[in-house]
Amino acid sequence: MPELVELFDIAAARRLDAQASALLGDGGASLMEQAGQAAWHCLLERWPQAQRIGVVVGAGNNGGDGYVLARLARDAGRPVTVLRLDTDAPATAVAQQAEQAFIAAGGVVERFDGDLPALDLLVDALFGIGLNRAPAGAAVDLIDAINAAGVPVLSLDVPSGVDAQTGHVPGVAIRATVTLQFIVRHQGLYTGAALEQVGGRRLAALALPAEAGAGVQHSAACWAQPRLRAQLPARRANTHKGESGHVLCVGGNLGSGGAVMLASESALRAGAGLVSVATQAAHVAPLLARLPEAMVHAVQDAQELQALLPRAGVIAIGPGLGQDDWAHELWRQVLASGKPLVIDADALNLLANAPRTLRDAILTPHPGEAARLLGLSTAQVQADRFTAAKTLADRFNAVVVLKGAGTVVAAPDALPRVIAAGNPGMAVGGMGDLLTGIIAALRAQGRGAFDAASTGALLHSLAGDAAASEGQRGLLPTDLLVPLRRLVNPDS
Protein backbone atom coordinates (compact mmCIF):
# COMPACT_ATOMS: atom_id res chain seq x y z
CA MET A 1 0.00 0.00 0.00
CA PRO A 2 1.48 3.43 -0.92
CA GLU A 3 2.27 6.01 1.77
CA LEU A 4 -0.89 8.05 1.18
CA VAL A 5 -4.04 6.22 0.15
CA GLU A 6 -6.98 8.42 -0.80
CA LEU A 7 -10.54 7.36 -0.04
CA PHE A 8 -13.62 8.82 -1.72
CA ASP A 9 -17.24 9.25 -0.79
CA ILE A 10 -20.04 8.24 -3.11
CA ALA A 11 -20.71 11.76 -4.41
CA ALA A 12 -17.08 12.10 -5.54
CA ALA A 13 -17.06 8.65 -7.15
CA ARG A 14 -20.22 9.41 -9.08
CA ARG A 15 -18.95 12.80 -10.21
CA LEU A 16 -15.70 11.28 -11.43
CA ASP A 17 -17.55 8.57 -13.34
CA ALA A 18 -19.95 11.10 -14.89
CA GLN A 19 -17.18 13.48 -15.93
CA ALA A 20 -15.11 10.69 -17.44
CA SER A 21 -18.13 9.35 -19.35
CA ALA A 22 -18.93 12.82 -20.69
CA LEU A 23 -15.36 13.35 -21.87
CA LEU A 24 -15.28 9.95 -23.53
CA GLY A 25 -18.59 10.72 -25.21
CA ASP A 26 -20.01 7.20 -25.11
CA GLY A 27 -22.29 7.32 -22.08
CA GLY A 28 -19.91 5.23 -20.01
CA ALA A 29 -19.70 2.23 -22.35
CA SER A 30 -15.89 2.26 -22.54
CA LEU A 31 -15.58 2.56 -18.78
CA MET A 32 -17.89 -0.42 -18.38
CA GLU A 33 -15.79 -2.39 -20.86
CA GLN A 34 -12.64 -1.48 -18.93
CA ALA A 35 -14.24 -2.46 -15.63
CA GLY A 36 -15.36 -5.82 -16.99
CA GLN A 37 -11.90 -6.48 -18.41
CA ALA A 38 -10.23 -5.56 -15.14
CA ALA A 39 -12.57 -7.88 -13.26
CA TRP A 40 -11.86 -10.72 -15.69
CA HIS A 41 -8.10 -10.23 -15.30
CA CYS A 42 -8.49 -10.14 -11.51
CA LEU A 43 -10.43 -13.40 -11.64
CA LEU A 44 -7.78 -15.06 -13.83
CA GLU A 45 -4.98 -13.90 -11.57
CA ARG A 46 -6.65 -14.95 -8.33
CA TRP A 47 -8.45 -18.12 -9.47
CA PRO A 48 -6.77 -19.32 -12.68
CA GLN A 49 -8.20 -22.83 -12.34
CA ALA A 50 -11.84 -21.78 -11.97
CA GLN A 51 -13.91 -23.19 -14.84
CA ARG A 52 -17.60 -23.00 -13.93
CA ILE A 53 -18.23 -19.31 -13.32
CA GLY A 54 -21.47 -17.83 -12.06
CA VAL A 55 -22.19 -14.11 -12.52
CA VAL A 56 -25.07 -12.59 -10.57
CA VAL A 57 -26.17 -9.34 -12.19
CA GLY A 58 -28.39 -6.49 -11.06
CA ALA A 59 -30.26 -3.85 -13.01
CA GLY A 60 -27.69 -1.06 -12.83
CA ASN A 61 -24.25 -0.44 -14.24
CA ASN A 62 -22.73 -2.81 -11.71
CA GLY A 63 -24.69 -5.52 -13.46
CA GLY A 64 -23.39 -4.20 -16.78
CA ASP A 65 -19.83 -4.76 -15.55
CA GLY A 66 -20.87 -8.32 -14.78
CA TYR A 67 -22.21 -8.86 -18.30
CA VAL A 68 -18.87 -7.72 -19.75
CA LEU A 69 -16.95 -10.14 -17.52
CA ALA A 70 -19.33 -12.95 -18.44
CA ARG A 71 -18.82 -12.29 -22.16
CA LEU A 72 -15.03 -12.32 -21.78
CA ALA A 73 -15.13 -15.52 -19.73
CA ARG A 74 -17.32 -17.18 -22.33
CA ASP A 75 -15.01 -16.04 -25.13
CA ALA A 76 -12.16 -17.69 -23.22
CA GLY A 77 -14.01 -20.99 -23.23
CA ARG A 78 -15.17 -21.02 -19.61
CA PRO A 79 -18.70 -22.27 -18.87
CA VAL A 80 -20.57 -19.18 -17.65
CA THR A 81 -23.94 -18.95 -15.90
CA VAL A 82 -25.46 -15.47 -15.69
CA LEU A 83 -28.25 -15.16 -13.14
CA ARG A 84 -30.59 -12.32 -12.28
CA LEU A 85 -33.84 -11.71 -10.46
CA ASP A 86 -37.08 -11.30 -12.42
CA THR A 87 -37.09 -7.60 -11.53
CA ASP A 88 -33.50 -6.95 -12.57
CA ALA A 89 -33.57 -6.45 -16.34
CA PRO A 90 -30.90 -3.86 -17.27
CA ALA A 91 -32.19 -0.39 -16.44
CA THR A 92 -29.52 1.81 -18.06
CA ALA A 93 -28.58 2.12 -21.71
CA VAL A 94 -24.98 0.97 -21.20
CA ALA A 95 -26.06 -2.02 -19.10
CA GLN A 96 -28.54 -2.97 -21.84
CA GLN A 97 -25.74 -2.76 -24.42
CA ALA A 98 -23.54 -5.00 -22.26
CA GLU A 99 -26.31 -7.57 -21.90
CA GLN A 100 -26.98 -7.55 -25.66
CA ALA A 101 -23.27 -8.02 -26.42
CA PHE A 102 -23.20 -11.02 -24.05
CA ILE A 103 -26.26 -12.57 -25.70
CA ALA A 104 -24.88 -11.86 -29.19
CA ALA A 105 -21.76 -13.80 -28.21
CA GLY A 106 -23.94 -16.82 -27.44
CA GLY A 107 -24.60 -16.18 -23.77
CA VAL A 108 -27.86 -16.92 -21.98
CA VAL A 109 -29.34 -14.98 -19.06
CA GLU A 110 -31.17 -17.15 -16.53
CA ARG A 111 -33.62 -16.24 -13.76
CA PHE A 112 -32.70 -17.14 -10.19
CA ASP A 113 -35.25 -19.69 -8.98
CA GLY A 114 -33.97 -20.19 -5.45
CA ASP A 115 -31.08 -22.54 -6.20
CA LEU A 116 -27.60 -22.05 -7.61
CA PRO A 117 -25.97 -24.56 -9.97
CA ALA A 118 -22.67 -26.23 -9.14
CA LEU A 119 -19.99 -23.59 -9.62
CA ASP A 120 -16.28 -23.00 -8.96
CA LEU A 121 -16.62 -19.25 -8.48
CA LEU A 122 -19.29 -16.58 -8.15
CA VAL A 123 -19.09 -12.96 -9.32
CA ASP A 124 -21.24 -10.50 -7.38
CA ALA A 125 -22.46 -7.74 -9.74
CA LEU A 126 -25.83 -7.33 -8.05
CA PHE A 127 -25.80 -3.90 -6.37
CA GLY A 128 -23.34 -1.07 -6.86
CA ILE A 129 -22.19 1.80 -4.67
CA GLY A 130 -25.59 3.46 -4.65
CA LEU A 131 -27.26 1.00 -2.27
CA ASN A 132 -27.76 2.50 1.21
CA ARG A 133 -30.59 0.35 2.52
CA ALA A 134 -31.10 -3.28 3.41
CA PRO A 135 -31.74 -5.60 0.45
CA ALA A 136 -35.32 -6.83 0.36
CA GLY A 137 -37.52 -9.49 -1.21
CA ALA A 138 -35.94 -12.05 -3.53
CA ALA A 139 -32.57 -10.27 -3.29
CA VAL A 140 -32.28 -11.54 0.28
CA ASP A 141 -32.72 -15.13 -0.87
CA LEU A 142 -30.17 -14.63 -3.65
CA ILE A 143 -27.54 -13.15 -1.31
CA ASP A 144 -28.15 -15.92 1.23
CA ALA A 145 -27.70 -18.50 -1.52
CA ILE A 146 -24.43 -16.93 -2.65
CA ASN A 147 -23.08 -16.88 0.91
CA ALA A 148 -24.10 -20.49 1.40
CA ALA A 149 -22.60 -21.72 -1.88
CA GLY A 150 -19.21 -22.49 -0.37
CA VAL A 151 -17.22 -21.10 -3.32
CA PRO A 152 -15.05 -17.97 -3.66
CA VAL A 153 -16.87 -14.71 -4.42
CA LEU A 154 -15.49 -11.78 -6.40
CA SER A 155 -17.51 -8.63 -5.68
CA LEU A 156 -17.40 -5.84 -8.24
CA ASP A 157 -16.88 -2.39 -6.69
CA VAL A 158 -18.66 -3.23 -3.41
CA PRO A 159 -20.07 -6.38 -1.81
CA SER A 160 -23.80 -6.20 -2.43
CA GLY A 161 -25.59 -5.09 0.73
CA VAL A 162 -22.72 -2.94 2.06
CA ASP A 163 -23.11 0.84 2.18
CA ALA A 164 -19.98 2.09 0.41
CA GLN A 165 -20.39 5.54 1.99
CA THR A 166 -20.47 4.54 5.66
CA GLY A 167 -19.43 0.90 5.87
CA HIS A 168 -22.80 0.07 7.42
CA VAL A 169 -24.41 -3.30 6.69
CA PRO A 170 -28.12 -2.72 7.32
CA GLY A 171 -29.26 -6.23 6.35
CA VAL A 172 -27.91 -9.24 4.51
CA ALA A 173 -24.76 -8.70 2.46
CA ILE A 174 -22.35 -10.67 0.32
CA ARG A 175 -19.29 -12.06 2.10
CA ALA A 176 -16.70 -11.48 -0.60
CA THR A 177 -13.40 -13.26 -0.94
CA VAL A 178 -12.06 -10.31 -2.95
CA THR A 179 -13.64 -6.92 -3.65
CA LEU A 180 -12.39 -5.17 -6.79
CA GLN A 181 -13.07 -1.42 -6.57
CA PHE A 182 -13.23 0.61 -9.76
CA ILE A 183 -11.60 4.01 -10.35
CA VAL A 184 -11.38 5.00 -6.65
CA ARG A 185 -11.31 3.41 -3.22
CA HIS A 186 -14.63 3.80 -1.40
CA GLN A 187 -14.32 5.11 2.15
CA GLY A 188 -16.99 2.83 3.59
CA LEU A 189 -15.07 -0.33 2.70
CA TYR A 190 -12.32 0.50 5.21
CA THR A 191 -14.19 0.70 8.52
CA GLY A 192 -16.89 -0.88 10.64
CA ALA A 193 -19.11 -3.76 9.63
CA ALA A 194 -17.92 -3.59 6.01
CA LEU A 195 -14.65 -5.20 7.08
CA GLU A 196 -16.58 -8.43 7.71
CA GLN A 197 -17.72 -8.48 4.09
CA VAL A 198 -15.02 -7.12 1.77
CA GLY A 199 -12.37 -9.82 1.98
CA GLY A 200 -9.23 -8.72 0.16
CA ARG A 201 -9.53 -5.25 -1.36
CA ARG A 202 -8.12 -4.42 -4.78
CA LEU A 203 -8.32 -1.37 -7.03
CA ALA A 204 -8.70 -1.12 -10.81
CA ALA A 205 -8.06 2.57 -11.52
CA LEU A 206 -9.13 2.33 -15.21
CA ALA A 207 -7.85 4.68 -17.91
CA LEU A 208 -9.65 8.00 -17.50
CA PRO A 209 -9.19 11.25 -19.42
CA ALA A 210 -6.83 13.55 -17.52
CA GLU A 211 -9.56 16.16 -17.10
CA ALA A 212 -12.00 13.72 -15.51
CA GLY A 213 -10.79 14.48 -12.00
CA ALA A 214 -11.49 18.22 -12.19
CA GLY A 215 -13.08 19.36 -8.94
CA VAL A 216 -13.10 15.88 -7.43
CA GLN A 217 -11.52 15.64 -3.98
CA HIS A 218 -10.97 12.66 -1.73
CA SER A 219 -12.97 12.56 1.49
CA ALA A 220 -10.59 10.64 3.76
CA ALA A 221 -7.12 9.15 3.87
CA CYS A 222 -6.15 5.61 4.74
CA TRP A 223 -3.07 5.30 6.95
CA ALA A 224 -0.91 2.17 6.81
CA GLN A 225 2.63 1.26 7.88
CA PRO A 226 4.46 3.32 5.22
CA ARG A 227 3.24 6.47 7.01
CA LEU A 228 5.44 5.75 10.02
CA ARG A 229 8.75 6.78 8.51
CA ALA A 230 7.60 10.34 7.83
CA GLN A 231 5.96 10.65 11.25
CA LEU A 232 8.81 9.18 13.31
CA PRO A 233 12.16 10.63 12.17
CA ALA A 234 15.35 9.44 13.82
CA ARG A 235 16.40 11.35 16.91
CA ARG A 236 19.33 13.74 16.93
CA ALA A 237 22.57 12.34 18.29
CA ASN A 238 22.58 15.05 20.98
CA THR A 239 19.07 14.41 22.26
CA HIS A 240 18.30 14.52 26.00
CA LYS A 241 15.27 13.21 27.88
CA GLY A 242 13.71 16.62 28.28
CA GLU A 243 13.38 16.95 24.52
CA SER A 244 11.40 13.71 24.40
CA GLY A 245 8.57 15.06 26.50
CA HIS A 246 7.05 14.57 29.93
CA VAL A 247 3.74 12.70 30.18
CA LEU A 248 1.63 12.74 33.33
CA CYS A 249 -0.80 9.81 33.53
CA VAL A 250 -3.74 10.43 35.87
CA GLY A 251 -5.94 7.52 36.91
CA GLY A 252 -5.89 4.18 38.65
CA ASN A 253 -8.66 4.45 41.18
CA LEU A 254 -8.96 1.70 43.78
CA GLY A 255 -9.20 -1.64 42.00
CA SER A 256 -8.11 -0.24 38.63
CA GLY A 257 -4.39 0.32 39.03
CA GLY A 258 -3.54 -1.85 36.04
CA ALA A 259 -5.12 0.60 33.61
CA VAL A 260 -2.89 3.54 34.49
CA MET A 261 0.08 1.16 34.64
CA LEU A 262 -0.52 0.10 31.03
CA ALA A 263 -0.85 3.70 29.89
CA SER A 264 2.38 4.66 31.66
CA GLU A 265 4.42 1.78 30.29
CA SER A 266 3.21 2.31 26.74
CA ALA A 267 4.08 6.00 26.99
CA LEU A 268 7.66 5.06 27.86
CA ARG A 269 7.85 2.42 25.13
CA ALA A 270 6.54 4.97 22.61
CA GLY A 271 9.46 7.25 23.41
CA ALA A 272 8.41 9.68 26.14
CA GLY A 273 11.49 10.96 27.97
CA LEU A 274 9.73 11.18 31.34
CA VAL A 275 6.52 9.66 32.65
CA SER A 276 4.89 10.61 35.93
CA VAL A 277 1.86 8.86 37.40
CA ALA A 278 -0.79 10.26 39.72
CA THR A 279 -2.75 7.43 41.29
CA GLN A 280 -4.14 6.02 44.51
CA ALA A 281 -1.58 5.26 47.24
CA ALA A 282 -2.40 1.54 47.12
CA HIS A 283 -1.03 1.32 43.58
CA VAL A 284 2.31 3.05 44.07
CA ALA A 285 4.33 0.01 45.18
CA PRO A 286 2.92 -2.41 42.56
CA LEU A 287 3.45 0.14 39.79
CA LEU A 288 7.05 0.81 40.82
CA ALA A 289 7.70 -2.92 40.98
CA ARG A 290 6.45 -3.30 37.43
CA LEU A 291 7.80 -0.04 36.04
CA PRO A 292 10.67 1.49 38.01
CA GLU A 293 11.27 3.99 35.19
CA ALA A 294 8.05 5.84 36.06
CA MET A 295 7.81 8.55 38.71
CA VAL A 296 4.80 7.40 40.71
CA HIS A 297 2.93 9.66 43.13
CA ALA A 298 0.17 8.92 45.59
CA VAL A 299 -2.47 11.57 45.02
CA GLN A 300 -5.35 11.78 47.44
CA ASP A 301 -6.74 15.20 46.52
CA ALA A 302 -6.53 18.04 44.04
CA GLN A 303 -3.84 19.86 46.01
CA GLU A 304 -1.43 16.93 45.70
CA LEU A 305 -2.15 16.70 41.98
CA GLN A 306 -1.63 20.44 41.58
CA ALA A 307 2.03 20.06 42.52
CA LEU A 308 2.60 17.67 39.59
CA LEU A 309 0.95 19.69 36.84
CA PRO A 310 3.58 22.36 36.06
CA ARG A 311 6.27 19.87 34.94
CA ALA A 312 3.99 17.88 32.64
CA GLY A 313 3.99 18.54 28.92
CA VAL A 314 0.95 16.38 28.21
CA ILE A 315 -1.61 14.88 30.58
CA ALA A 316 -3.25 11.52 29.86
CA ILE A 317 -6.35 11.14 32.01
CA GLY A 318 -8.95 8.41 32.26
CA PRO A 319 -7.43 4.91 32.50
CA GLY A 320 -8.91 3.42 35.66
CA LEU A 321 -10.02 6.88 36.84
CA GLY A 322 -13.51 5.97 38.02
CA GLN A 323 -16.33 8.44 38.51
CA ASP A 324 -16.36 9.03 42.27
CA ASP A 325 -15.48 12.22 44.17
CA TRP A 326 -11.73 11.53 43.83
CA ALA A 327 -12.09 11.18 40.07
CA HIS A 328 -14.20 14.35 39.75
CA GLU A 329 -11.69 16.37 41.76
CA LEU A 330 -8.72 15.26 39.65
CA TRP A 331 -10.71 15.76 36.44
CA ARG A 332 -11.51 19.36 37.34
CA GLN A 333 -7.87 20.11 38.11
CA VAL A 334 -6.65 18.59 34.86
CA LEU A 335 -9.20 20.55 32.81
CA ALA A 336 -8.11 23.76 34.50
CA SER A 337 -4.40 23.09 33.88
CA GLY A 338 -4.38 24.38 30.30
CA LYS A 339 -2.15 21.47 29.27
CA PRO A 340 -2.59 19.35 26.13
CA LEU A 341 -4.78 16.40 27.10
CA VAL A 342 -5.41 12.83 26.00
CA ILE A 343 -8.81 11.85 27.39
CA ASP A 344 -9.96 8.25 27.65
CA ALA A 345 -12.20 5.85 29.53
CA ASP A 346 -13.90 7.30 32.63
CA ALA A 347 -12.70 10.80 31.80
CA LEU A 348 -14.82 10.54 28.65
CA ASN A 349 -17.80 9.56 30.77
CA LEU A 350 -17.20 12.58 33.02
CA LEU A 351 -17.07 14.75 29.92
CA ALA A 352 -20.32 13.23 28.65
CA ASN A 353 -22.00 14.08 31.97
CA ALA A 354 -20.89 17.72 31.74
CA PRO A 355 -20.01 18.55 28.11
CA ARG A 356 -17.71 21.47 27.39
CA THR A 357 -15.56 22.73 24.56
CA LEU A 358 -11.93 21.75 24.95
CA ARG A 359 -8.83 23.75 24.09
CA ASP A 360 -6.14 21.21 23.16
CA ALA A 361 -7.34 17.67 23.57
CA ILE A 362 -7.44 14.25 21.97
CA LEU A 363 -10.46 12.07 22.76
CA THR A 364 -10.16 8.29 22.34
CA PRO A 365 -13.67 6.82 22.68
CA HIS A 366 -14.81 3.36 21.79
CA PRO A 367 -18.26 3.28 20.11
CA GLY A 368 -20.12 3.04 23.42
CA GLU A 369 -18.32 6.06 24.85
CA ALA A 370 -18.85 7.95 21.61
CA ALA A 371 -22.55 7.19 21.86
CA ARG A 372 -22.73 8.67 25.36
CA LEU A 373 -20.86 11.79 24.24
CA LEU A 374 -23.27 12.25 21.31
CA GLY A 375 -26.48 11.22 23.03
CA LEU A 376 -26.99 8.40 20.52
CA SER A 377 -27.08 4.61 20.61
CA THR A 378 -23.97 2.59 19.91
CA ALA A 379 -25.73 1.18 16.84
CA GLN A 380 -26.23 4.70 15.49
CA VAL A 381 -22.54 5.50 15.94
CA GLN A 382 -21.51 2.29 14.19
CA ALA A 383 -23.94 2.92 11.32
CA ASP A 384 -21.87 5.95 10.24
CA ARG A 385 -18.50 6.07 11.95
CA PHE A 386 -17.23 8.93 9.77
CA THR A 387 -20.08 11.23 10.74
CA ALA A 388 -19.89 10.24 14.41
CA ALA A 389 -16.16 10.99 14.62
CA LYS A 390 -16.49 14.29 12.75
CA THR A 391 -19.45 15.39 14.87
CA LEU A 392 -17.51 14.70 18.06
CA ALA A 393 -14.49 16.61 16.76
CA ASP A 394 -16.61 19.63 15.92
CA ARG A 395 -18.68 19.51 19.10
CA PHE A 396 -15.72 19.35 21.48
CA ASN A 397 -13.18 21.20 19.31
CA ALA A 398 -10.85 18.23 19.71
CA VAL A 399 -9.13 15.49 17.79
CA VAL A 400 -11.13 12.26 18.05
CA VAL A 401 -9.93 8.68 17.75
CA LEU A 402 -13.05 6.57 17.25
CA LYS A 403 -11.74 3.13 18.10
CA GLY A 404 -12.89 -0.16 16.60
CA ALA A 405 -12.42 -2.07 13.37
CA GLY A 406 -11.10 0.53 10.95
CA THR A 407 -10.35 3.21 13.57
CA VAL A 408 -11.38 6.69 12.36
CA VAL A 409 -9.35 9.73 13.43
CA ALA A 410 -11.09 13.07 12.94
CA ALA A 411 -10.26 16.71 13.65
CA PRO A 412 -12.07 20.01 13.11
CA ASP A 413 -11.47 21.38 9.61
CA ALA A 414 -9.57 18.29 8.44
CA LEU A 415 -10.30 15.19 6.39
CA PRO A 416 -10.60 12.06 8.53
CA ARG A 417 -8.02 9.30 8.55
CA VAL A 418 -8.77 5.57 8.66
CA ILE A 419 -6.27 3.15 10.20
CA ALA A 420 -5.62 0.15 7.96
CA ALA A 421 -4.32 -2.21 10.65
CA GLY A 422 -5.50 -4.07 13.74
CA ASN A 423 -7.26 -7.36 14.39
CA PRO A 424 -10.08 -8.89 16.48
CA GLY A 425 -7.60 -10.20 19.05
CA MET A 426 -7.26 -6.62 20.28
CA ALA A 427 -10.82 -6.69 21.63
CA VAL A 428 -9.71 -7.16 25.23
CA GLY A 429 -9.64 -4.95 28.30
CA GLY A 430 -6.60 -2.70 28.60
CA MET A 431 -5.93 -2.17 24.90
CA GLY A 432 -7.39 1.32 25.05
CA ASP A 433 -5.20 2.23 28.02
CA LEU A 434 -2.17 1.24 25.98
CA LEU A 435 -3.32 3.48 23.13
CA THR A 436 -3.77 6.43 25.49
CA GLY A 437 -0.15 6.21 26.60
CA ILE A 438 1.18 5.88 23.06
CA ILE A 439 -0.71 8.95 21.81
CA ALA A 440 0.30 11.00 24.86
CA ALA A 441 3.96 10.11 24.30
CA LEU A 442 3.87 11.17 20.66
CA ARG A 443 2.12 14.41 21.58
CA ALA A 444 4.76 15.08 24.24
CA GLN A 445 7.52 14.52 21.68
CA GLY A 446 6.25 17.40 19.61
CA ARG A 447 3.76 15.88 17.19
CA GLY A 448 0.64 17.95 16.52
CA ALA A 449 -2.55 16.60 18.05
CA PHE A 450 -3.95 15.21 14.77
CA ASP A 451 -0.69 13.55 13.74
CA ALA A 452 -0.02 12.23 17.27
CA ALA A 453 -3.48 10.66 17.37
CA SER A 454 -3.21 9.18 13.87
CA THR A 455 0.33 7.88 14.30
CA GLY A 456 -0.47 6.52 17.75
CA ALA A 457 -3.53 4.66 16.49
CA LEU A 458 -1.48 3.22 13.62
CA LEU A 459 1.39 2.13 15.89
CA HIS A 460 -1.05 0.53 18.31
CA SER A 461 -2.82 -1.41 15.55
CA LEU A 462 0.40 -2.53 13.86
CA ALA A 463 1.81 -3.69 17.18
CA GLY A 464 -1.40 -5.65 17.70
CA ASP A 465 -0.98 -7.31 14.32
CA ALA A 466 2.63 -8.21 15.08
CA ALA A 467 1.74 -9.59 18.48
CA ALA A 468 -1.09 -11.66 16.99
CA SER A 469 1.31 -13.66 14.81
CA GLU A 470 0.89 -16.57 17.23
CA GLY A 471 -2.89 -16.25 17.34
CA GLN A 472 -5.53 -13.67 18.15
CA ARG A 473 -7.27 -15.36 21.07
CA GLY A 474 -5.44 -14.72 24.29
CA LEU A 475 -3.68 -11.61 23.01
CA LEU A 476 -2.87 -9.26 25.92
CA PRO A 477 -2.08 -5.55 25.88
CA THR A 478 1.38 -6.19 27.31
CA ASP A 479 2.12 -8.44 24.31
CA LEU A 480 2.17 -5.27 22.17
CA LEU A 481 5.01 -3.59 24.06
CA VAL A 482 7.90 -5.45 22.38
CA PRO A 483 6.75 -4.92 18.76
CA LEU A 484 5.76 -1.35 19.70
CA ARG A 485 9.38 -0.49 20.47
CA ARG A 486 10.46 -1.82 17.09
CA LEU A 487 7.70 -0.04 15.19
CA VAL A 488 8.33 3.32 16.85
CA ASN A 489 11.85 3.18 15.38
CA PRO A 490 11.11 2.67 11.66
CA ASP A 491 14.66 3.62 10.61
CA SER A 492 16.33 1.07 12.87
How large a percentage of the chain has pLDDT more than 70?
99
* Residue 492 in this model has a pLDDT that exceeds 60: yes
Contact 248, 312 (CB under 8 A): yes
pLDDT value at residue 70: 98
* Residue 418 in this model has a pLDDT that exceeds 60: yes
**Averaged pLDDT score across all residues of the chain:** 96
pLDDT value at residue 302: 86
Mean pLDDT to the nearest integer, 26-55? 97
Count other Cβ atoms within 10 Å, centred on residue 313: 20
pLDDT band at 447 (very low <50, low <70, confident <90, very high): very high
* Residue 135 in this model has a pLDDT that exceeds 60: yes
**What are the strands of the beta sheet with 80-84, ordered from one edge?**
109-111, 80-84, 53-57, 121-125, 153-156, 178-182, 200-204
Structural domains of the chain ordered from first start? 5-218 (3.40.50.10260), 226-487 (3.40.1190.20)
Q: With H, G, I as helix, E, B as strand and everything else as coil, classify residue 125.
A: strand
Mean pLDDT to the nearest integer, 46-63? 97
Task: Tell me the pLDDT tens digit for each residue of 74-114.
Answer: 999 999 999 999 999 999 999 999 999 999 999 999 999 99
Count other Cβ atoms within 10 Å, centred on residue 205: 12
pLDDT value at residue 1: 55
Measure the CA–CA gap between 378 and 371, rounded to whole angstroms: 5
Amino acid at 436: T
Mean pLDDT to the nearest integer, 146-161? 98
Q: What's the Cα-to-Cα distance from 426 to each of 94, 330, 464, 478, 480, rounded to whole Å? A: 46, 29, 6, 11, 10
Task: Tell me the pLDDT tens digit for each residue of 240-266.
Answer: 888 889 999 999 999 999 999 999 999
Q: Please name the residues in contact with 122: beta carbons below 8 A apart, sequence gap of 6 or more.
A: 53, 54, 55, 56, 116, 146, 149, 151, 152, 153, 154
Q: Strand 80-84 and strand 200-204: pairing? A: unpaired
- In this prediction the pTM is 0.96
Q: What's the Cα-to-Cα distance from 210 to each of 14, 20, 24, 221, 271, rounded to whole Å? A: 16, 9, 11, 22, 44
Measure the CA–CA gap between 288 and 151, rounded to whole angstroms: 55
* Residue 198 in this model has a pLDDT that exceeds 70: yes
